[in-house]
Structure 1
Amino acid sequence: MKNNLLGMFIIAMSFHVSILSAQVDEEKINQIKDSLYISAVEKKSGKPKVLHAEPLYIDLIRDLGARKGEKEWNVGLGLTDNQSFDEYLALVEYEWAPIDRLGLEVELPFSFYYPVNGNQTAPNNRLNSLKMAAQYTFLVSEKAKTSLALGYIHEFELTDFNSYNSDRLVTGNVYNPFFVGAKRWGNNFHTLVYTGPLFFHHFADNSTYTSWQVNSNFHYMIPGTRNFIGVEFNKEFQKDDFDMTIRPQMRVEVTKQILIGIVTGIPIERENQRFSSFLRLIYEPGH
Structure 2
Amino acid sequence: MFKYLKHWCLLFILSTPVISIYSQTETETNKQTLDSLYIAETENRPKERPKVLHAEPLYIDLIRDLGARKGEKEWNFGFGITDKRNFDEYLALVEYEWAPIDRLGLEVELPFSIFEPTENGTQAPGSKLQSLKLAAQYTFWVSEEYKTSLAIGYLHEFELTEFRNYSSSRFYAGNIYNPFFIAAKRWGNNFHTLLYTGPQFFENFNSNSWETVWQFNTNFHYMISGTRNFLGIELNKELNDAGKLDMVMRPQMRVSVTDNLLIGIVTGIPISRENERLSTFLRIIYEPGH
Superposed displacement of residue 172, structure 1? 0.1
Aligned equivalent of 2:276: 273
CA contact (8 A) 1:127 1:161 kept: yes
8 Å contact kept, 2:86–2:122: no
- Superposed, 1:240-251 pairs within 5 Å as 240-251=243-254
Q: Which amino acid aligns with 1:8?
A: C
How far the C-alpha of 1:4 sits from its partner, in A, is 2.5
Between the aligned partners of 1:119 and 1:110, the Cα distance in structure 2 is 24
- Specify which of 45, 49, 56 is matched with residue 47 of structure 1: 49
For residue 255 of structure 1, what is the aligned residue in structure 2?
258
Q: Give the unaligned 5+ runs of structure 1.
A: none
Cα separation, 2, equivalents of 1:212 and 1:82: 22
Within 2, Cα distance between the matches of 1:75 and 1:273? Answer: 23
In structure 2, C-alpha distance between the alignment counterparts of 1:6 and 1:210, rounded to whole Å: 78
Counterpart for residue 131 of structure 1: 133
Deviation at 1:15, TM superposition (A): 4.5
Q: CA deviation at 1:18?
A: 2.9
- Aligned mates of 2:251, 2:121 — CA distance in 1: 30
- TM-score, with normalisation over the residues of structure 1? 0.97
Shift of 1:285: 1.2
Q: Deviations over 1:60-87 (max 9, x none)?
A: 0000000000000000000101110011
The match for 1:66 is: 68
Q: Which residue of 1 aligns with 2:24?
A: 23
User: After the TM superposition, which parts of structure 1 deviate over 6 Å for at least 4 consecutive aligned residues?
Assistant: none
User: Does the 8 A contact of 2:37 with 2:226 survive in 1?
Assistant: no
Q: How does 1:73-222 map to 2 (within 5 A)?
A: 73-222=75-224
Alpha-carbon separation, structure 1, partners of 2:18 and 2:262: 37
1:228-256 deviation per Cα after TM superposition (whole angstroms, max 9, x unaligned): 00000000000221100000001000000
* SS class of match (1:181): strand
SS at structure 2 position matched to 1:223: coil
For 1:265 and 1:140, how far apart are their aligned partners in 2? 31
Letter in 2 for 1:33: L
Deviation string 1:154-196 (CA, Å, 9 cap, x unpaired) is 0000001111122111100000000000000000000000000
How far apart in 2 are the matches of 1:89 and 1:187?
34
Deviation at 1:20, TM superposition (A): 3.3
Give the corresponding residue for 1:236: 238
- The answer for unaligned runs of 5 or more in structure 2 is none
Supply the distance in 1 between the matched residues of 2:21 and 2:166 (Cα, whole angstroms).
67
8 Å contact from structure 1 (residues 265, 276) kept in 2: yes
In structure 1, C-alpha distance between the alignment counterparts of 2:191 and 2:5, rounded to whole Å: 49
Pairwise CA distance, 1:205: 2.1
Aligned CA RMSD, in angstroms, stands at 1.2
